[in-house]
Amino acid sequence: MTTVFEAAGGTTGILRLAHAWHARVMADEVVSHAFSHGFRPDHTERLAAYWSEALGGPAAYSGIYGDETSVVRIHSGNGEHDEMNRRAVDRFDEALVDAGLDRDDRLRGVLHDYFAWATWNTMYHHTTDDVAEGMSIPRWSWDGLEEP
């Protein structure tokens, strides 16, 4: 059986999804606020590396950029933002269509479930002080979250 990463087209497919999601987010007046402080020029490449690793691909993110702790700290300490979360997931679902990853219902559903889970459950802490050291990027398979 192939990984979710492979089914999504590997590095090329995930990078296409990251570019599509970023374009959708930047056009959304609520979600784009998260980028109002600016972002790295290689944001989509870093995002694609993260998603690739999380979805069963190579350790592209942790091997180059950092661990889960660094990712969660970047996203933490900004207060409640339920509307932003909902809209980010909606933009992800639209990006799946833009990237051509909506044609297989099972793949589309697994990608949606992963992104929604990550958005609502792992990325945001109230403060950066409660983010544990040395966290690994959570891995997601066809059956959902894998145990570490």
Give residue-wise pLDDT tens across range 30-79.
888 766 565 668 889 999 999 999 999 999 888 887 776 666 656 555 55
Question: Do the beta carbons of residue 69 and residue 129 sit within 8 Å?
Answer: no
Q: What are phi and psi of 140, to 5 degrees?
A: -125, 135
- What pLDDT, in 10s, does the model give residues 86-141? 999 999 999 999 999 999 999 999 999 999 988 876 665 455 566 667 666 889 99
What is the rounded CA–CA span in Å between residue 136 and residue 94?
A: 28
Among 126, 128, 47, 56, smallest CA distance to 88 is for 47
Name the residue with higher pLDDT: 80 or 57: 57
What are the tokens at 109?
């559903």
- DSSP per-residue codes, the chain: ---HHHHTTHHHHHHHHHHHHHHHHHT-TTGGGGGTT---TTHHHHHHHHHHHHTTS-STTTTTT--HHHHHHHH-SS---HHHHHHHHHHHHHHHHHTT--SSHHHHHHHHHHHHHHHHHTS--SSGGGPPTTPPPP-EETTEEPP-
Q: What is the pLDDT of residue 81?
A: 66
pTM: 0.85
pLDDT of the residue at 114: 94
| The domain made up of 4-146 is a member of CATH 1.10.490.10 | yes
Answer whether residue 18 shows pLDDT above 60.
yes
pLDDT at 100: 97
Residues in a beta bridge with 7:
none
pLDDT value at 10 more than 60: yes
Cα first-last separation, the chain: 20
Using an 8 Å Cβ cutoff, are 47 and 147 in contact? no
